Amino acid sequence: PSTPSSKDQAEMDPADMEDVEDVEEEETGEDENSKARQLTVQMMQNPQILAALQERLDGLNGSPSGYMESLPKVVKRRVNALKNLQVKCAHIEAKFYEEVHELERKYAALYQPLFDKRSEIVTAAYEPTDEECEWKTDEEEELTDEMKEKAKLEEEKKDEEKENPKGIPEFWLTVFKNVDLLSDMLQEHDEPVLKHLQDIKVKFSDPGQPMSFTLEFHFEPNEFFTQTVLSKTYKMRSEPDESDPFSFDGPEIMSCVGCMIDWTKGKNVTLKTIKKKQKHKGRGTVRTVTKTVPNDSFFNFFTPPEVPENGELDEDSEAILAADFEIGHFIRERIVPRAVLYFTGEAIEDDDDDLLLSNQEGEEEADEENDPDYDPKVS
């Protein structure tokens, strides 16, 4: 029997498959198994049918298991009781995270004198003592006293040849350039501005106030803007969503508010001037028009998209805010507490190791799930 050409197969509508099956029954005397195999081959070669099947499979993801549907009514009733218990667990977990926030506030006050000392060293307001500067590296442990003395003399000679810098120049700019998440935001025209950044501080909301944290970027007086502090506040929620309580996994950032930057005239790196030529249709004359348009810059970080009251955002704004929340959280959790290790690059190696380990664990879990012989009950 003749089979449809690949062109016919591609144009075949899924709804027409019954007609194909009927034709096969009339034209051939093959047994049922043979006809089923032939029909399967035709289906698998038809992109429209494959797409319809995939859509059907995608629709099954996240739907209740067949096992749950098969349970007797009295058992389903008890499962609902367990779900209600789970919701209560989520509310207790929310209280737990509120207390964690209180602990963070308490310990932030203990960390702050150390961070203030760090800032004083970076900005040359304080010169650390020899004892405070002593740090034994792994390489130094292997050196003899004679080699150490020789290395010390060479270092002193180098220092004499160089200008004597104050503090730790470009400390925070170097941190930003070392971290991919932040360096992706940096533009070349941002760097002269960020050379004036002296410190980043995290401030937590006061007791009894809605949960939030503020990032304060402290600058020395500079030619770019009049403020010495630029701030951004992240508002958080630590309670289960009534419509989806099982998704609760700790506090989440809900919105953020930046600040207006009072730029010096001609120094606003978030704007650029472009020139366009326009031709007059009637006279044919050409004129040059100057326009000011938005410019890519780290400092756009301080003007995030506003979340409307209904909470609905377009896709672009959603993507920008999602990235913004990730950056704000990362600065608070990792950059501020461990700045010197991001300056030296040591924390980046640790982050890479953590990521590698996480990926390996994910691959192992995927292998177990894809293994047809894997039984979760057998350890």
Number of domains into which the chain is organized = 2
pLDDT at 352: 60
Terminal-residue alpha carbon distance, the chain: 54
Residues 6 or more apart in contact with residue 248 via CB below 8 angstroms = 90, 93, 94, 239, 240, 241
In three-state secondary structure terms, 284 is coil
pLDDT at 284: 75
Q: Is the pTM of this model over 0.85?
A: no
107 found inside a domain: yes
188, 305: one domain: yes
pLDDT at 33: 61
Burial-class residue 199 by CB neighbours within 10 Å (0-12, 13-18, 19+): buried
7 found inside a domain: no
333, 313: one domain: yes
CATH code, domain carrying 231? 3.30.1120.90
93, 231: one domain: yes
Place of tokens 């978030």: 270
Residues 6 or more apart in contact with residue 52 via CB below 8 angstroms = 14
13 found inside a domain: no
pLDDT at 57: 52
- Measuring CA to CA, which residue among 357, 331, 4, 296 is closest to residue 172? 331
287 found inside a domain: yes
DSSP labels for 290-329? EEEEE---GGGGGSPPPPPTT----HHHHHHHHHHHHHHH
206, 349: one domain: yes
234, 274: one domain: yes
178 found inside a domain: yes
247 found inside a domain: yes
213, 250: one domain: yes
116, 40: one domain: no
CB 43 within 8 A of CB 9: no
- In angstroms, the CA 124 to CA 243 distance is 53
Check residue 175 and report its DSSP letter. Answer: H
In three-state secondary structure terms, 123 is coil
pLDDT at 322: 87
Check residue 22 and report its DSSP letter. Answer: H
Q: 295 is in which domain, residue-wise? A: 78-127+167-356
- CB count within 10 Å of CB 106 equals 10
226, 263: one domain: yes
CB 220 within 8 A of CB 198: yes
Task: Assign residue 266 a region (left: φ > 0; alpha: ψ between -120 and 50; beta: otherwise).
Answer: left
- CB count within 10 Å of CB 12 equals 20
CB 293 within 8 A of CB 272: yes
The amino acid occupying position 177 is: K
Query: Is the sign of the CA dihedral 34, 35, 39, 40 positive or negative?
Result: negative
CB 250 within 8 A of CB 239: no
178, 245: one domain: yes
64 found inside a domain: yes
Ranges of residues in the chain with a pLDDT under 70 are 1-65, 138-145, 147-148, 150-152, 154-162, 311, 350-379
- In angstroms, the CA 372 to CA 302 distance is 51
258, 307: one domain: yes
171, 213: one domain: yes
176, 304: one domain: yes
Q: Which two tokens stand for residue 106?
A: 């308490």
pLDDT at 23: 38
Place of tokens 């029909």: 39
100 found inside a domain: yes
